[in-house]
Amino acid sequence: MDRNRLHNQVASMRRSLFDQGYLDDQFIQLEELQDDTNPNFVQEVVTLFYNDSARLIQNIEQALNSGPIDFCKLDDYMHQFKGSSSSIGAKKVTNECTAFREYCNAENAEGCIRSFQQVKQEYAILKRKLEVYLQTVRQASQTA
């Protein structure tokens, strides 16, 4: 009973993450790379993503808040952020990163600041959803 409920929950959460555009096919690639020899692959990659993102967000905050904006450096950070979010299939976050880079290219400081709020917001939402989802996956596999 418990097991079925959990498994259904996992399936429904997963479906929703894809349907609502939080994740794309790249996330499926990650899942496909997980197997008995690498049973925690998805979680490991996602954890790396959280760490990387935290670092980049901090760097970008700093770059935006300290004096005249260095758009090159900003773009570089965002290029990295976009790269890692795209590598895990974080679709909405990736899209926000793209939007940010456009403001960067246009050297639009206001636009960058606003856009960065969007990036942070999407990232926070995704992180929360992924944490809950992966926790449920773990629970489900433990009661299997």
**Which residues of the shown chain bind other proteins in the complex (CB under 8 A)?**
26, 29-30, 32-33, 38, 41, 44-45, 48-49, 52, 79-80, 82-84, 86-89
**Residue number, 59 or 86, with CB nearest to other proteins:** 86
**Residue matched to tokens 């995704």:** 126
Considering the complex, what minimum distance in angstroms separates the CB of residue 52 from other proteins? 6
Considering the complex, what minimum distance in angstroms separates the CB of residue 8 from other proteins? 29
**Residue number, 12 or 102, with CB nearest to other proteins:** 102
Query: Smallest Cα–Cα separation from 24: which of 83, 89, 88?
Result: 89
**Residue number, 6 or 23, with CB nearest to other proteins:** 23
Considering the complex, what minimum distance in angstroms separates the CB of residue 79 from other proteins? 7
Task: Report the interhelical angle of 109-142 vs 2-19 (nearest 10°).
Answer: 160
Considering the complex, what minimum distance in angstroms separates the CB of residue 60 from other proteins? 16
| Residues contacting residue 76 through CB under 8 Å, at least 6 positions apart | none
Q: In whole angstroms, how far apart are CA 62 and each of 70, 86, 111, 113, 140?
A: 11, 23, 16, 12, 41
**Residue number, 19 or 35, with CB nearest to other proteins:** 35
Q: How far apart are CA 27 and CA 80, in angstroms?
A: 18
**Residue matched to tokens 């433990």:** 142
**Residue number, 6 or 60, with CB nearest to other proteins:** 60
Considering the complex, what minimum distance in angstroms separates the CB of residue 77 from other proteins? 12
